[in-house]
Structure formats: C-alpha cells, structure tokens
C-alpha cells in the first residue's frame, strides 16, 4: 500500500500539469522554439489580471478553464465578456484571410522520443467564432461556429520515433523544445480567418480536448476583424503595434542537427503596443 501511494504521488504532478490555455492571440512567429513576450501583439481576455505577459510562461495564475462537471451547461469562458475592462493588454486585430499564430504552454503534454515520451494523447483542437455579441451559454451552443480544425498530434509508439520527433507538427504538441522544459515549453498553433467572416468585432474561442475522458479546456478573446490588411495595419499603427505579419521559424532559419546556423529575427526590436512610434514610422 505504501508503495502504491508513493508511486501515485510521483505521477500526480505530471497528470495535474496536463492542462493549458492560450497565452497570445496574435504571435509573430509560427512554429517557434522559445516564448518571447515581445513577439506578442495581442492577448486573451483579462491577460493583465492573470499576468500573462510577465509571469513564467507555463504558470497559469488562474486562467485555466476546464469545463468540468457539466460542460453542456458550464460557462464557456473563464470571465464574462467586458471589452472595456478586459484589455489593458491589447486586443487582437485580424484581417480576412490572415494566418494567425497562437501560443500555449505545453504543460508536460507532448511526445518526443528525445526524452523517451511517446504515449501522450491529443484528441481535439478546434477554433470557433461566436455568432452575436454575447458569450454562448456553453460548449454545445448553436452560436459557436467552427472555423478551423487544427488537427491532432501523433502519439503512441506505433507512430514511430521519426514521426513523433519531427517538427513542426499539427495539433497541440507542436513544441520543438518540449524536452528542454516539459512544463513551460511553448507550443504554437495557427488558424486562418475565413474570407466570408463579416468584418467587425468578434469573440473567438479555442477548445482543446486532451483525452476523451477529460473535459474540454477553453480560452476566449475578442478581435476586431478588418476586410483588408491595409485596414488592419492602419489600426495597429494607430495603437502602436507593428504591421509585420508572422514569419515561419523553420523557413527563415537554417537548422542543422537541431541547431540554428546564423539565427534570424525579421523584426528587431518587435513593437508590441507600448510606444516606439518612431520605429513604426520607419517600417
């Protein structure tokens, strides 16, 4: 019995950490290796309250929202919508057709043969937009319109080490530096703003199911959607943010044997909304 309790105590931290949330709602680097708050242009609801910009990347500060007990009736979002009070850290702005990068902490939930982890499951990674100006009642609401299925990451030993250790990958486990810091490593997704989405302010909802026996995790945020990049750029300039669109880490860097040769950063420094208009005018 004592041995069982000891083994259970060892296993509990990893199980408890298998949760997540969206940290950045408009990140400038797709498939990146390491979190950099300077590359985040926009944040979820109440990001300041949860100290998302300055806290250790993989610690939640209370933002974790799992639809426990009765997901069909539990509020979909961690906080009720209040645009005036929820965006001390900037709200996102998108344009039709834009590829948007999201970041999240991996929190021990990934597979990588380099650290001998192969069997952690990934079940569902979906993006929704809300039809209307009010939060939907629950995960089953007809006001939730799915705009993208971001796929699921490979898992189990049957996939083979070559597949499990290849990055970038679809789904939750797209975290190339997972083995360096299994709890706090950064994962990234990307999704595309539909061309038929009506311009205006919308609520976006991320939903992740780790395992079918675990209820969904969600994060909510608002974004102003513009018809064209030029209109979105004017908005970002007016709010002190760069108009640089995202770049792909693997396309701009020469990577040999897992090491970057002549590292590149397309924007230095990155402008995230807190001044430096002089730099923006030179873009």
Q: What per-residue confidence (pLDDT) applies to 43?
A: 98
Q: What per-residue confidence (pLDDT) applies to 267?
A: 62
- pLDDT tens readout for residues 66-114: 998 777 788 899 999 999 999 999 999 999 999 999 999 999 999 999 9
Q: Which residue has the tokens 């933002």?
A: 63
Cβ atoms of residues 45 and 81 within 8 Å? yes
Peptide bond into 269 cis (omega under 30): yes
C-beta neighbour count of 3 within 10 angstroms: 7
Cα 24 from Cα 219, distance rounded (Å) = 11
Q: What per-residue confidence (pLDDT) applies to 159?
A: 80
pLDDT > 90: what percent of the chain?
69
pLDDT band at 259 (very low <50, low <70, confident <90, very high): confident
Q: What per-residue confidence (pLDDT) applies to 1?
A: 39
pTM of the model: 0.88
The size of the chain, in residues, is 283
- pLDDT tens readout for residues 202-222: 999 999 999 998 899 999 999
- pLDDT tens readout for residues 129-181: 999 998 988 888 999 999 999 999 998 866 889 999 999 999 999 999 999 99
Is the pLDDT at 40 greater than 90? The verdict is yes
Which top CATH class is 18-281? Answer: mainly beta
Cβ atoms of residues 269 and 276 within 8 Å? yes
pLDDT band at 277 (very low <50, low <70, confident <90, very high): very low
Q: What per-residue confidence (pLDDT) applies to 283?
A: 41
The per-residue b/e assignment along 41-72, b for 16 or more CB within 10 angstroms, e otherwise, is: bbbbbbbebbebeeeebbebeebebbbeeeee
Q: What per-residue confidence (pLDDT) applies to 230?
A: 98
Phi and psi at 13, nearest 5°, equal: -55, -40
| Average per-residue pLDDT for the chain | 87
Cα 256 from Cα 27, distance rounded (Å) = 25
pLDDT band at 6 (very low <50, low <70, confident <90, very high): very low
Q: What per-residue confidence (pLDDT) applies to 254?
A: 83
Q: Which residue has the tokens 């420094």?
A: 269
pLDDT band at 261 (very low <50, low <70, confident <90, very high): confident
Question: Under 8 Å CB-to-CB from 187, ≥6 apart: which residues?
Answer: 20, 103, 104, 105, 106, 110, 172, 173, 174, 175, 178
The encoded tokens of residue 86 equal 């929820």
What does the domain layout of the chain look like in residue ranges? 18-281
pLDDT band at 272 (very low <50, low <70, confident <90, very high): low
């Amino acid at each position: 019995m004592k041995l069982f309790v000891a083994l259970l105590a060892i296993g509990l931290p990893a199980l408890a950490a298998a949760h997540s949330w969206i940290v950045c709602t408009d990140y400038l680097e797709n498939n990146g290796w390491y979190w950099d708050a300077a590359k985040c242009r926009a944040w979820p609801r109440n990001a300041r309250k949860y100290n998302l910009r300055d806290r250790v990347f993989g610690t939640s500060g209370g933002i974790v929202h799992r639809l426990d007990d009765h997901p069909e009736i539990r509020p979909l979002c961690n906080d009720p919508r209040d645009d005036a009070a929820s965006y001390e850290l900037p709200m996102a702005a998108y344009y039709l057709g834009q590829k948007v990068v999201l970041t999240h902490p991996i929190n021990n939930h990934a597979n990588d043969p380099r650290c001998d982890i192969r069997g952690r499951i990934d079940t569902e990674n979906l993006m929704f937009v809300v039809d209307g100006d009010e939060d939907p009642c629950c995960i089953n609401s007809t006001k939730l319109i799915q705009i993208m299925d971001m796929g699921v990451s490979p898992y189990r030993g049957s996939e083979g080490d070559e597949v499990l250790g290849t990055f970038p990958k679809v789904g939750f486990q797209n975290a190339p530096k997972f083995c360096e810091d299994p709890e706090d490593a950064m994962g990234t997704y990307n999704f595309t703003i539909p061309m038929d989405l009506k311009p205006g302010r919308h609520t976006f909802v991320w939903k992740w199911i780790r395992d079918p026996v675990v209820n969904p995790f969600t994060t909510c945020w608002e974004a102003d959607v513009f018809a064209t990049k030029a209109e979105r750029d004017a908005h970002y300039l007016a709010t002190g943010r760069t108009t640089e669109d995202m770049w792909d880490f693997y396309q701009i860097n020469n990577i040999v044997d897992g090491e970057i040769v002549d590292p590149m950063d397309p924007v230095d420094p990155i402008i995230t909304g807190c001044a430096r208009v002089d730099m923006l005018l030179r873009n």
